Structure 1
Amino acid sequence: MKTLLIILSFVCCFSACNKQQKAEEEKWISLFNGENLEGWTVKITGYPAGENFGNTFRVEDGLMKVRYDAYDTFNERFGHIYTDKSYSHYKLRVEYRFVGEQVTGGPGWAIRNSGAMLHSQDPHTMHLDQDFPVSIEAQMLGGDGENERSTGNLCTPGTEVYIEGVPYTGHCASSTSKTYHGDQWVTMDMIVLGDSIVHHVIEGDTIMTYTHITVGGGNVSPAPNIAPGPLKEGRISLQSEGHPVDFRKVELVDLSHQYK
């Protein structure tokens, strides 16, 4: 009995030490300070980088909010807010929720729709009227209260990937996540390792995995001035596609030192 207690004590201690070591190794960096948009640059279709038309992206009550009260109609003014730094190997965590109603003139597919754009191109290199940055999108979708609608999907603006070892030729591939209805907060992790592999994770489950990330394909207008090839790094950006959304947390663990 005494031996068994010693073994159990050792196992518990080992498990606790591993958890503590993992917590110490995962040094989370907050990309959003909860007070202002310092460290971020806005680019909205039809406006130069740095011009936050209509105060689309704003900080209120400690949240980064996307709002459209200055819009008479959406008019395809797709927007993104970009980190001023580029990243290659990292774990990204975003907490988001959809609120309110879509702005007048917003596309039907964009209801309760946003995303975290990974390996985004520098907003200063985009055409004035370019709709989306070359990137890989971890798409965020909210349910309509009735129908199934997965989140954490993959979309490929100006990029190409492999899924399960096969080139993916579509634009958006559905994940295996459950549907999140209403205005509830959802936490999504993205594990990004250069151009080799990306995982989308919700509630501890990997819901989407893809590999071989390259520049190429369509779904960006007008066509960007970026040569095809491996997409190893880039900015992180969050979308404004016509539906109000709040971001409560945007934080990152830099893994680059592990892959030098």
Structure 2
Amino acid sequence: MIRNLILTAALSSSMALTAQADENWISLFNGENLDGWTVKFSGSKVGENYKNTFRVEDGKLVASYDEYDEFNGEYGHIFYKEKYSHYKIKLEYRFVGEQIKGAPNWAKRNNGIMFHTQSPESMEIDHGWPVSLEFQLLGGLNDGKERHTGNVCTPGTHITIHGKFEKEHCLDSTSKTYHGDQWVTAELEVKGDEYIRQYINGELVLEYFKPVADGNDGEQPAHPMKDGMPVTEGYIALQAESHPTEFRNIMLLDLSSD
């Protein structure tokens, strides 16, 4: 009996490894330069990398503020070149160092994976965030309080969660709090407007459904979609919200043929 259990476990492990090997994950970041990515900062034209914020260091894609004297609302995003609808994306991230002087307190150890976004070219010059969904990434503040990561925020959009059409801008996940400069793995599974699942270190921490556009959102002036329109596809972007952040192993699995 024990021998059979061992054989069964070994077979299951082998099958899982084979299935993973068969999956055609592709790297979105080559570890050498920002080819394939486009930056957009509030107050700057598309393609202008304000104060060299986004850069490559030691094979990592980094949001850095070492060329700033002070932060004055220059929120930035770096967009991958392709649109996607059905896919998985996974990456590792960590927060490092101190937040730049002048930045808002809410943005401390705060970043995100923006997805189903509008194109960077469609954003206005002073536009802070693209119309999108955000897989919010937060680091603990060592203040004795829980600070979940893997949350959802909805700039210019709304979602259905727990059977309710929700207009709250950000909703917490069930994740643990991650303090310090440790690497954390974030994975996102997107099936158009059918469902979105968010994972932290391999654990499902949030699931929601049926994203739609809020075409009346006055904070999103360059809104490309009508109110109530299903949000089924778009670009993927990483943020620069004022706290130094590092990303690595940015991988995507296209599920459009499933």
Q: Give the TM-score, by structure 1 length.
A: 0.93
> Structure 1: which 5+ runs fail to align?
none
* Superposed displacement of residue 163, structure 1: 0.5
CA contact (8 A) 1:213 1:230 kept: yes
Aligned residues: 255
* Structure 2: 5+ residue stretches without partners: none
Provide the residue aligned with 2:114 in structure 1: 117
Tell me by how many angstroms 1:225 deviates.
3.5
- Which runs of structure 2 are paired with 1:116-135 in the superposition (5 Å)? 116-135=113-132
- Which residues of 2 match residues 90-239 of structure 1 at below 5 A? 90-146=87-143, 147-216=145-214, 218=217, 220-228=219-227, 229-239=229-239
| One of 78, 82, 85 as aligned partner of 1:85 | 82
Superposed CA offset, 1:3-54 (max 9, x none) = x85x547634641442133213322111111110011000000111111111
1:26 corresponds, among 23, 27, 36, to: 23
TM-score normalised by structure 2 residue count: 0.93
1:249 is aligned to 249
Q: Is the partner of 1:214 in helix, strand or coil?
A: strand
Q: Structure 1 residues 24-33 or 85-94, which shifts more?
A: 24-33
Q: Tell me, yes or no, if the aligned pair for 1:96 and 1:247 is still in contact at 8 Å.
A: yes
- Structure 2 counterpart of 1:48, one-letter code: K
For the Cα contact (< 8 Å) 2:185–2:202, is it kept in 1? Answer: no
CA RMSD, 1 decimal: 1.7
Deviation string 1:35-84 (CA, Å, 9 cap, x unpaired) is: 10011000000111111111110001111110112222211111000000
Distance in 1 (CA, whole Å) between partners of 2:121 and 2:196 is: 25
Structure 2: how far apart are the matches of 1:238 and 1:188? 12
The answer to whether the 8 Å contact 1:171/1:219 transfers is: no
User: Is contact 2:130–2:220 with CA below 8 Å preserved after alignment?
Assistant: no
Moved more, 200-209 or 153-162: 200-209
Change (3 A) 1:211 1:14: same
